[in-house]
Structure 1
C-alpha cells in the first residue's frame, strides 16, 4: 500500500535563524508571521464537503481537495468496482448452487464483514491521518480544521525549507513533501486508500486489512459450499467465477499478510518509514504490545480496538521523548 503529492503560495520568513521548538517549556522560539497558502472553493456539496482548488506557484497544474483529503478517487473507485464484481458474481453464480444451510448462514457472514470492511476502508480514506500545517510552530496545536490545514500546506521551496528545519518540527511527526504537511506518527503512504496512514487513521487501516481478509475469505469459502464441490459449478459460470475466485483468494492472502505485518511492526514499536531506515541504525524504544496498540488504537477498552471508530478525539497531544520518534520523510519513498 503506497503513494501521494504537492501545493501553493509563498511564505515570507523573518528571523528564522533563531527559531526553536518550544513544547513543554523545553525551548524558546522567536518567530514572526508566515504567509499562508491560498486556495478557493470551486464547488460545495452537502455530503462530501467543499471541493477546493489550489494552484501551485511556478507550475502549470492545480491540486484539488475534498476538505483535507487530496482528491484522488481512482483507487477507491477501483476497490468499489472489485467489491461489486466479486459480490454480485457470488450471489448470482455461486449462491444458488450452495447447500441449503450455507444459503441461510453465508449471507449474514458476508454482509457483516462487508459492512465492517467498507467502514474501515472509507475511514482510512477519508479520515485525517493526523495532518499538521507546515507552520505548526506558530500555533503548536494537534488538531486543525481543514481550512487551517490547507492554509498551512507547503507548496514552495521556502515553505519546504521552513518545514524541514528540525527546530520547527512537531514531536512524533514526519514531514511529507507530497502532502505538504506534517503527519503525526507517519507510517506510510497507502496507494489503496490514496492517503497517508498516520496516528489518527492507523486503526482503520489495520481493521481494513483484517475485515477485508475475512470478507474475501467468506467469498472464497462459498465455492466450497457448492453441492458436489467446486468442480460441479456449471461451465457457463466459469468465465465470471474463475477470475472472481482468483481475486478473492489473492485479496484474502494479501490483506491477512498485511495485517500480520502491521502487528509485527507494532510489536517492535516501529512505523514502516522507520523500518526502511533501520539499515541506517535508527533505534526504537522497547515497549509492551499493549502500549504499542494504544499508540494507534487509543487507550480505551480493548474491545473498542475492533470497532472502526476514531481512536482519538480533538484533545490528543503529542509529547517529546515519545515511544515513537519519526524523522522528516523528505523523499516520501
Structure 2
C-alpha cells in the first residue's frame, strides 16, 4: 500500500501563521542585501553603475510587488467551501466504500452513488476533499500549503501559481544580481566591490537563500504546470493509481482557461474578470466539464 502523504497533515496546525512571518523575514533580509547594502548606494556612483543599479532595482521592486500581491491573495482568499445546503445532481462521483462517504442512491438507479462527508455532515461536490487542517471540505482541493497557511483550492489556485511564478523570477533576479558580490568570498580581497564585512556576509547568505529557493520553486512550478496541462490536482495525481485517466482533461487550452480564465490581460494578475466568473463554472469550483458523460470520475481520499 502506498504511503499516504496527507495522513499527517494535521501536524501543520502547529506552525500556524508563523510561516507568514518567516516569508516576510526572508523577503526583508533579501531586500536589505540587494537594495540597502549593494544596489541602492550604486545609484549615486554615476555612469554605467547607476544605470545598472536603476534597472536592477526597478525589476526587483516590480517583481516584489507582484510576488507579494499574489502571495497575500493566496493567504486571504477563501479557496472555496461547499455552500450550505448544497445537494448533488445525478451522475456524481461514486464512492469507493471509504468510511468518510455514505453510499446514497439518487433517483431510481442504484448506480448513481453520491459522496457524503461524515466529518462535515454534508454532500461533497466533484473534486472536493476534506482538509484535516482547515476542518472542512475544499472545492477542487490541491493541497494545504504551509507557506501560505491556507488550502489551495478552486478560488485561489491561480494566485498560488502566480506566487510560484513571481517567486522564481524574483529569486533568480536576486541571485544573478548578487553573484558578483558573492564571488568576493573566493578572491584575495582585490575587488571593485566595496561593501562592509557585515554587508558582505548578508549578501553571501542572501545569495545562497535565493539560489536555493529559485531551484526549489522551479521544480515545484514545473510540476504544477504539468498538472494544469492535464487538468488535475496534486491530490488527484497522487491517486492516479486508482484512476489514471482524468475525465476532466479537455485539452491544454481549455484546461489552462479553467485556471487562468479567458481574458489574456488578467493572466498575470491574481484576479478574474466578472465575465470569466459568470461564463466559467470551473472557476467557482462546483461544476466541471468532463470529456464524456461515461468517463469514470476520480475517487477521493
TM-score by length of 2: 0.70
On the 8 A contact 1:172/1:184 being kept in 2, the answer is yes
Shift in Å, 1:277: 1.1
1:253 pairs with one of 202, 215, 218: 215
On the 8 A contact 2:82/2:124 being kept in 1, the answer is no
Matches of residues 207-246 of structure 1 in structure 2 within 5 Å? Answer: 207-224=162-179, 232=191, 233=193, 234=195, 236=197, 237-246=199-208
Structure 2: 5+ residue stretches without partners: 1-5, 44-48, 89-98, 103-115
The structure with higher relative contact order (CA 8 Å, sep 6+) is 1
Aligned to 1:195: 150
Helix, strand or coil at the partner of 2:240: helix
Helix, strand or coil at the partner of 1:189: strand
Counterparts of 2:159 and 2:259 in 1: how far apart (Å)?
9
Counterparts of 1:317 and 1:198 in 2: how far apart (Å)?
8
Counterparts of 1:195 and 1:214 in 2: how far apart (Å)?
23
Counterparts of 1:97 and 1:168 in 2: how far apart (Å)?
60
Counterparts of 2:180 and 2:51 in 1: how far apart (Å)?
9
Matches of residues 92-171 of structure 1 in structure 2 within 5 Å? Answer: 92-95=36-39, 96=41, 99-132=49-82, 136=84, 138-140=85-87, 163-164=117-118, 168-171=123-126
On the 8 A contact 1:172/1:322 being kept in 2, the answer is no
Aligned to 2:257: 294
Shift in Å, 1:197: 0.7
Q: Is 2:266 the counterpart of 1:304?
A: yes
Shift in Å, 1:278: 1.5
Question: Structure 1's 109 and 275: CA in aligned 2 closer, same or farther, altered over 3 A?
Answer: same
Counterparts of 1:160 and 1:180 in 2: how far apart (Å)?
16
Helix, strand or coil at the partner of 2:226: helix
Question: Structure 1's 122 and 132: CA in aligned 2 closer, same or farther, altered over 3 A?
Answer: same
On the 8 A contact 1:274/1:282 being kept in 2, the answer is no
Shift in Å, 1:177: 3.1
Give deviations 1:234-260, integer Å, cap 9, x for gaps: 571332111111001111122222221
On the 8 A contact 2:141/2:235 being kept in 1, the answer is yes
Aligned to 1:182: 137
2:225 pairs with one of 263, 266, 270: 263
Shift in Å, 1:100: 2.4
Matches of residues 272-291 of structure 1 in structure 2 within 5 Å? Answer: 272-285=234-247, 286-291=249-254
Counterparts of 1:249 and 1:185 in 2: how far apart (Å)?
32
Q: What's the RMSD between the two structures over aligned residues?
A: 3.6
Shift in Å, 1:276: 0.9
- The number of equivalent residue pairs is 246
Shift in Å, 1:167: 8.8
Shift in Å, 1:79: 0.1
Shift in Å, 1:128: 0.6
Question: Structure 1's 167 and 112: CA in aligned 2 closer, same or farther, altered over 3 A?
Answer: closer
Shift in Å, 1:92: 2.4
On the 8 A contact 1:220/1:249 being kept in 2, the answer is yes
On the 8 A contact 2:155/2:285 being kept in 1, the answer is no
Counterparts of 1:210 and 1:242 in 2: how far apart (Å)?
24
On the 8 A contact 2:246/2:298 being kept in 1, the answer is no
Which deviates further from its counterpart, 210-219 or 312-321? 312-321
Aligned to 2:287: 319
